[in-house]
Structure 1
Amino acid sequence: MRDTEAPEVSIVSPVYGCRDCLSQLVKSVTDTMDASGLSWELVLVDDCGPDHPWSLICQFAEEDARVRGVKLSRNHGQHLAIWAGLEVCRGEWTAVIDCDLQDDPEMLPALFEEAKESKVHALLVDRGDWSDSWIRRAASTQFYRLVKVLAGIEIKNVGNFGIYSRHMVDTLLKFREQEVFLPMMVALTGLPSRRSRIDRSARAAGESSYSPLRLLRLAAAIVVRFSDRPLKLSALVGFAFSTLAALISVYLLFGYLLGAFTVAGWTSVVLSLWFLSGLILVTLGIHGLYLGRVFAEVRRRPRLSVMYTTFDREGGKEAIPKGSDVSVDYD
């Protein structure tokens, strides 16, 4: 059961490599939300970044109880860090924003009002024009195209920035996958949503951890987690080549019977063997990725490991001491 003193709004921000702008983030959220008249909380999730932001998060929490900190035991990645925040947020509406201030906190009150008036469970922010390099923008564009083609779900130019209802958050938390991707899973809920365009601001600190290669790996991981299209594609390719092989076999048989072939060629045989062997290995690799996904799921390991929090855990239990070695696993 959620806290009876739950705020109207929760703001979740995964923290990695942005220690230098955390003070600016907290101040911007505080000034904006106080001016809006809405009750709020800010959940900062330390994803074990290289700049060690936990001490600073604890300081913010001591100065303002509305700031709540969660420290993961190791680096889990951005999306699982978001999930850790969703696990503990209490608001009737929840916003997810990046810690580097590319998602402007000053836009939150207007987005909350738009979400309420629209009667949707998710208001997704189209990121509009970016201030990142053209290489980064081009890589993201290709990332969205690849996901659409292979996974069949369009999440064009939508990231994690958005407003989510309590019902949406509770529905998302019912997903039991070991690995998560927020925009895709919001789409999979089937709950009503809409988009609102806001151009991204310049990054206040740090740099993107998503290189073109990492975006490619992420796209492949998303496709394997949320779609079976590659399996179907491999079956279709196999069927097509089998059909082609059958037609060629008929042609070769008639040619042999008619005496058209007097010298057996080895080039075509060698090339065919190499090509088909490569195709078989690629197909086996695709199936192996899915088997690996099944293996990861059936192990049923906790997908999150929380080391510390700055607040009392739900249910009246004591807070985890900031200097203790206690860890808590959220399944």
Structure 2
Amino acid sequence: MLISIVVPCFNEEEIIGRFHEHVTKELGDLGHPIEMLYVDDGSKDRTLAILQEIARSDPRTRYVSFSRNFGKEAAMLAGLRSASGDTVVIMDADLQHPPELVRRMVALHEQGFDQVIARRTRKGDRVTRTLTARAYYRLINRLVDVELVDGVGDFRMLSRRSVDAVLELTEYNRFSKGLFAWVGFTTVTFEYENAVREEGRSKWSFSKLLNYGLDGLLSFNDKPLRAALYLGIVLLTIAMAYSTWIVGVTLVNGVETPGYVTLLVALTALAGVQMMMIGVVGEYVGRIYYEVKRRPHFLVQETNIDGAPGGASQPQNRELVHR
């Protein structure tokens, strides 16, 4: 059983060499051949140069380098498309995904599971981040069409049929956590303690995490649009009831001077609700806009993989790469 280790990389020059040494040493006596597949997501540092050196010294190493930064979702997609293994393991390059856990994944996969997922605990996280994450997952699981588990990320082993199923999902706006959950198949999850990043800084700022969370909320349901409809019905009902009450009061007590403050507050609140609903609709329209363009998810600048998708080394793809 060939195991492909897919590793998205972005500005990881400080740790990528140590990561490769650690993983290959840990899995050297695994009993199954491995393929190290690195995806350089348009790094600005020496990540690509280091990957080239590693590939020259280790024949098990393959790499794909993007023409610019396309994001981790595109990097994982490129890795899955290029992986030739019977199973595929997705790992981060910062050693926060302990390589020794791959042994446990292999053992569980051999019991018949198509997806073996490592779920990290929240031990060591800030209290505010833990509470925010728990609230987010409670909310999102009430809305989306698939179940998302707190602590479950991209660190997992996929069988070949699971990989092929994910690759059939060709949408441009990708949210891999949801895609992995959507394809299903037999799945098992085990926990591990969160590891501290050894070098460098996390690429996930608060704004990126917020956008990622919104992607998850909008990618697998249309309930916000339905909520806008329900909210409109509720507001219309309230307006009709209020109008009826005003007419009744006028008929009984005569015409009174209307309340300026009440009118101003009502108009401001309704305008805010309308803008929010327009924003929700705009998010969905924007996603449709990107989907209908049918642009490639990524462009490859360099690779040492024969037949890699979008590879600049392939003559049939040069027009696409240089366009």
Q: Distance in 1 between matches of 2:150 and 2:13?
A: 29
Distance 1:38 1:304, change over 3 A: same
Paired letter, 1:123: V
Q: In structure 2, what is the equivalent of residue 148 of structure 1? A: 141
Equivalenced residue count is: 318
Between 162-171 and 134-143, the greater mean CA deviation after superposition: 134-143
Q: Distance in 2 between matches of 1:83 and 1:318?
A: 14
Q: Distance in 2 between matches of 1:192 and 1:261?
A: 70
Give secondary structure in 1 for the equivalent of 2:210.
helix
Paired letter, 1:28: H
Q: In structure 2, what is the equivalent of residue 123 of structure 1? A: 116
Paired letter, 2:7: S
Q: In structure 1, what is the equivalent of residue 232 of structure 2? A: 238
Q: In structure 2, what is the equivalent of residue 3 of structure 1? A: none
Q: Tell me if the contact between 1:155 and 1:183 (Cα under 8 Å) persists in the aligned partners.
A: no
Aligned CA-pair RMSD: 2.3
Q: In structure 2, what is the equivalent of residue 189 of structure 1? A: 183
Q: Tell me if the contact between 1:126 and 1:158 (Cα under 8 Å) persists in the aligned partners.
A: yes
| 1:264 CA displacement | 2.0
1:172 matched to 2:180: no
| 1:65 CA displacement | 1.5
Distance 1:283 1:129, change over 3 A: closer
Distance 1:77 1:163, change over 3 A: same
Q: In structure 2, what is the equivalent of residue 66 of structure 1? A: 60
Distance 1:207 1:262, change over 3 A: same
Paired letter, 1:289: E
Q: Distance in 1 between matches of 2:320 and 2:15?
A: 28
Give secondary structure in 1 for the equivalent of 2:92.
coil
Question: TM-score normalized by structure 2?
Answer: 0.91
Give secondary structure in 1 for the equivalent of 2:39.
strand
Q: Distance in 1 between matches of 2:22 and 2:319?
A: 31
Q: Tell me if the contact between 1:140 and 1:215 (Cα under 8 Å) persists in the aligned partners.
A: no
Q: Tell me if the contact between 2:302 and 2:311 (Cα under 8 Å) persists in the aligned partners.
A: no
Q: Tell me if the contact between 2:301 and 2:311 (Cα under 8 Å) persists in the aligned partners.
A: no
Q: Distance in 2 between matches of 1:208 and 1:137?
A: 17
Distance 1:173 1:244, change over 3 A: same
Q: Distance in 1 between matches of 2:23 and 2:34?
A: 9
Between 95-104 and 274-283, the greater mean CA deviation after superposition: 274-283
Q: Which runs of 5+ in 2 are unaligned?
A: none
Q: Which runs of 5+ in 1 are unaligned?
A: 1-6
Q: In structure 1, what is the equivalent of residue 275 of structure 2? A: 281
Give secondary structure in 1 for the equivalent of 2:100.
helix
Share of identical aligned residues, percent?
26
Give secondary structure in 2 for the equivalent of 1:102.
coil
